[in-house]
Structures are given as C-alpha cells and as structure tokens.
Amino acid sequence: MRDHFDAVLMVAFGGPQGPADVRPFLDNVLRGRRVSPARVDEVAHHYEIFGGVSPLTALTLAQADGVRESLRSRGRPLPVYVGMRNWHPFLRDTLATMSRDGIRHAVGFVAAAHRSYSSCTQYRENVAAARAEIAGLGHADVRVTYVGDWHTHPGFIEANAAHVRTALAGLPDSDRSRARLVFTAHSIPVSMAERFPYQHQIEESARLVASMVGAREHAVVFQSRSGRPEDPWLGPDVCDYLREEARRGLAAAVLCPIGFLCDHVEVLYDLDVEAAALCAEIGLPMARARTAGDHPAFLKAVADTVLSTVDRYRTGRPLPIVAGEPARQP
C-alpha cells in the first residue's frame, strides 16, 4: 500500500550567514516584540563574535542529510527538505520548492525536543502561514503532519549521553569523579511553562541521560533569557547557578545543553563564552558536552519518528483540527 507521505520537512530557527545578515535576521526574530535597542545591540554582538555566522543552518542541513541517508538505508527513502523561520532557506521558499517538486503531504519535524509555544507551536503556525502564502501565489498546497513527542527517544538520550561521556573524559582525573552534571535549556516565561509540558519534558530527558551515564547527581538550569526584566522566566540561570553552587563547594561541572539540537550561537556564547569565563573567574573546572547534532543515534531517532508517523497513518488520513496538525497530537 502506498504511503500517504511523500517527503519530510525539517523546521528550524535559522541564522545569519555573514555580518551583513545579522541585523536583518534579528529584525525577523524580534518582529512584533518590544525589545530595547540596547538589547538588540547586545545580541548582535554575540553573533559578531562568531563572524556573523550561525552554525545552525549548516548543522541542520547536515542533520537532514543524515536523516535522508538513514531512511534510505532502511528501504524507506523520502526526500528531506529544510525550512527556517527567520532566515534562508525561509519556510515559504522551501514549501514553494516542495510544491513545484510535486510534494503534497510531508511529515513535519520541528527541531526542538521539548514542547512549548515558542519551541514548537509557533513553528507550526509559521508553517501554516507559509502554506497559505504559497497557495495565494498559485502553488498547490503541501499538507504537513507532525511527528509526536520524542524527548525520551532512546537515540536522543544515547546521543546526549555519548557527548557527556566525552566531556567528562576531558576533565582531569581529580575533577571527573566530583563533577556535577548540569543540563541547560532555553528559558521561557513562567506563564508559558504553565501551559505546556516544556519543563517536565526537559527534566525527563535530563533524568534519562543522567541515568545512562551513571551520574550521582544532576541539575536542570536555564539560559538565554530574554523579555522584560520584571516578567518571571524559568530559572535558575546557568551562570547564577554555577556561581552559587561554587560558593557551596561544587568541585566541577559538566554542562549538557539538552534543550538544543545544534551548537548554534546561543549555545556557543552563553556556555562557551559567558559560562566558561565565569568558571575561569571563580576557579570552577568546567567541561561542555556537545548537543545531539549529527550523532548517528540521534539521526536514527529522527528517522524513527518520521517512520512511526508514516506507519501510524498508513491506513487512514490524519484528521486536522488546526491547519497542518493531526487530531491526535497536542
């Protein structure tokens, strides 16, 4: 029986590919939000430190290549497309290409393991808007049905655990046995966290990774807070946590950015620059684990979620309640 799906659409944040892209990219990211010019300048500087290039685009395209190969190797080949919210390749352009290629129904994979409005739902809304936009230009529609939650998938856990082990191996022997595993994720407003399973899912992922590496203790902290200072966001902040715990006798830390799939600028700046500088200042040995990235176990996990979605609807069509989303998905 023919599958109801003819492609995969991977959806990610996007990032500038040179200094000239930084300000237009941030205009897209911040459109409709009240952000002070000083804060915009601060964030722009973070990108400028890395030459105005976010590695996110290249890493996401590499992930797409890996997923495509994983599907092919299992005898279930599907083309894999990448569309970005905030920079090239924009979602509308990717969906227009898919439509011209004859794609009519794709499995959607949003590049975020933990579900909240800003990490998942907003992306689905962007896809729906892009679909409407290309339809207005005369292109045939490309329906999108999303994979279910996958934050506990063994492949995602295994990839993070492997990177934690590598980070631990980089610490001196005297620090390794005393190091605490500290998981980080992007902070979100408390009001949003109350409506979505984001924090609970992060804690589930962290617990499974900690168990797999045999960590005696671990903590979950947050990074990359934005928004108005008076609004409550999830905490503690990673730097505040490290400083306070060092005062209490923390001997060493391994940071695992469980809430991110790529080593992009937020990870590179917040952890490799800011947190690393703090640890050097206070004399706290620190190692940073890589994100899941292109680890084979993670790429296989993505392919698994795609195929489980294909198989789930093999004998019937998804019944959309909201454009682009199947009835049984939250």
Instruction: Kindly report, residue by residue over 177-233, the tens digit of the pLDDT.
Output: 999 999 999 999 999 999 999 999 999 999 999 999 999 999 999 998 876 777 899
Tokens of 109: 């994979």
Q: Which of the four pLDDT bands, split at 50, 70 and 90, describes residue 31?
A: confident
pLDDT of 325 higher than 70: no
pLDDT given at position 320: 52
pLDDT tens profile 40-93: 898 999 999 999 999 999 999 999 999 999 999 999 999 999 999 999 999 999
Which is more confidently placed, 32 or 303? 303
Q: Which of the four pLDDT bands, split at 50, 70 and 90, describes residue 115?
A: very high
Strands 325-326 and 320-322: antiparallel
Percent of the chain's residues with pLDDT above 90: 86
The percent of the chain in helix, strand and coil, each rounded to the nearest 5, is 50, 15, 35
The answer to whether 7-150+296-326 and 154-288 have equal CATH topology is yes
Residue range 254-276: mean pLDDT, rounded: 96
Q: Tell me the three state secondary structure of residue 52.
A: coil
pLDDT given at position 319: 52
CATH of 154-288, one of 2.40.280.10, 3.40.50.1400, 1.10.150.120, 3.40.50.300: 3.40.50.1400
pLDDT given at position 318: 58
pLDDT given at position 326: 39
DSSP per-residue codes, 288-309:
EPPPSTT-HHHHHHHHHHHHHH
* Rounded Cα gap, residues 300 and 152, in angstroms: 14
Residue-range domain boundaries for the chain: 7-150+296-326, 154-288
The CATH number that domain 7-150+296-326 falls under is: 3.40.50.1400
pLDDT given at position 39: 84
What lies within 8 Å, CB to CB, of 253 at 6+ separation is 179, 180, 181, 182, 242, 245, 279, 284, 285, 286, 287
Residue range 231-256: mean pLDDT, rounded: 96
pLDDT given at position 97: 98
Q: Which of the four pLDDT bands, split at 50, 70 and 90, describes residue 247?
A: very high
Neighbour count for residue 101 (Cβ, 10 Å):
13
- Averaged confidence pLDDT in the chain: 92
* Rounded Cα gap, residues 67 and 160, in angstroms: 17
Does the pTM exceed 0.85?
Answer: yes
DSSP per-residue codes, 230-291:
TS-BS--BHHHHHHHHHHTT--EEEEE-TT-SS--HHHIIIIIIIIHHHHHHHT--EEEPPP
Helix ranges (DSSP H) in 137-267:
154-169, 173-176, 190-193, 198-213, 238-247, 265-267
* 126 within 8 A of 85, measured Cβ to Cβ: yes
* Rounded Cα gap, residues 112 and 115, in angstroms: 7
Place of tokens 């809304």: 125
